[in-house]
Amino acid sequence: MIEIEAIRHRVETNTILHELSLNLGEGRIGIIGANGSGKSTFARLLNGLILPSAGRVRVHGHDTRAAGDVVRALVGFVFQNPDHQIVYPIVEEDVGFGLRNAGLRGDALSCAVTEALESFGLTEKRNQPAHLLSGGEKQLLALAGILALAPRVVVLDEPTALLDLRNRRKIARILADLPQQVVLVTHDLDMLDGFDRVLVFDSGRIVADDTPARAIAHYIRLMEA
């Protein structure tokens, strides 16, 4: 459960998000909208990467301003470009990074890495340099590193923008099977099949909050206007 209470976000004199209150309950939530409509800013508010200029965001009761560390443990964030997320040179080290931060050592760490790589089909790449992975494999590695930490919510900001159709479908299937709450920013409207709710952003406002079919229709009308 994420509660967004009367937030506004400004950078200098620019209003990037106008006043906004809503709850994101459980389930899969999509976010769509034109370039520059405020989607990434909104997504980053959800785990405290950005703090709102006014109002507050609470994740399972924890305020992103007062309890940033708790919130970041609850909310995993996946960026569009996995190169911004992969920090270690070797695949297994990268997946191990977050787990080590979470306190795992020795066999427990090694088992958790094995499990994470297996569930994303990356077992064979375990000892390879991360920078030699394909774009799709890199995005899977970034996702594996986040999900290994068992966050309650996963926020993804255009995770498939750099991927081909096969890898996009792979990510879609992985997301469909996740037990966690998913918040997905995307221009890939097919990815929203089976989602519970889709928000449409326009110039820093939410102009539709509806089923995927109705929200997408609203977005298409907006783009054609």
Ligand X SMILES: Nc1ncnc2c1ncn2[C@@H]1O[C@H](COP(=O)(O)OP(=O)(O)O)[C@@H](O)[C@H]1O
Applying CB under 5 A, the residues found at the interface with Mg ion are 40
How far is the C-alpha of 106 from the C-alpha of 15, rounded, in Å? Answer: 49
Q: Does 39 bind ligand X (CB under 6 A)?
A: yes
> Closest CB to ligand X among 50 and 143?
50
By CB under 6 A, residue 11 contacts ligand X: yes
Strand bridging mode 181-185 / 28-33? parallel
- Options 9-17, 75-83, 109-117, 214-222: segment touching ligand X (CB under 6 A): 9-17
* Residue given tokens 């911004």 in the structure block: 84
Using rule CB under 6 A, residue 16 touches ligand X: yes
Amino acid at position 175, single letter: L
Per DSSP, the three-state class of 63 is strand
Q: Residue 181: name its binding partner from Mg ion, ligand X, none (Cβ under 5 to 8 Å by kind).
A: none
Residue 10 C-beta: closest distance to Mg ion, Å: 18
Residue 127 binds ligand X (CB under 6 A):
no
How many residues touch ligand X under the rule CB under 6 A: the total is 11
Among 13, 14, 69, 103, binds ligand X (CB under 6 A): 14
Q: Is 13 a residue that touches ligand X (CB under 6 A)?
A: no
Query: Which stretches within the chain are classed as H helix?
Result: 39-45, 68-74, 91-101, 106-119, 135-147, 165-177, 212-224
Cβ atoms < 10 Å from Cβ of 221: 11
C-alpha separations of 213 from 48, 163, 200, 220 in Å: 30, 24, 12, 11
Q: DSSP state, 163?
A: -
Closer residue to ligand X, CB minimum distance, 16 or 144:
16
Binding site for ligand X (CB under 6 A): 11, 14, 16, 33, 35-41
